[in-house]
Amino acid sequence: MKELLTVIAKGLVEDPESVSVTVDEVNEEGITVYHLHVAEPDMGRIIGKQGRIAKAIRTIARSAAIRNNEKVSVEID
């Protein structure tokens, strides 16, 4: 999952070297939280107009997690 988020984000930003993904431990609800970090100027590219790109990234992550019987959440920092 971490690699998937990294590949997607690097394809969208101008500074792919600044992309990183950190993972939190599974919380009490069974959800793994992934934190996507990008450079400040690239935040608009990741979020998109009215959050459409961010929503699409989260949808892809959830779809991939369902195949592994996991629950995930993606936060953009």
Q: In the chain, what are the domains?
A: 2-76 (3.30.300.20)
Overall average pLDDT of the 36-58 stretch:
94
46: three-class secondary structure by DSSP: helix
Residue 42 has pLDDT above 90, yes or no: yes
Q: In the beta sheet, which residues pair with residue 22? A: 35
Q: For residue 68, which amino acid is it?
A: N
User: What average pLDDT does the chain have?
Assistant: 94
Does the pLDDT of residue 77 top 90, yes or no? no
Q: How far apart are the first and last CA of the chain?
A: 17
Smallest Cα–Cα separation from 22: which of 8, 6, 44? 6
What value does the mean pLDDT take over residues 8-12? 95
pLDDT range class, residue 9, cuts 50, 70, 90: very high
Whether residue 39 is predicted with pLDDT greater than 90 in this model: the reply is: yes
How many CB atoms are located within 10 Å of the residue 45 CB? 15
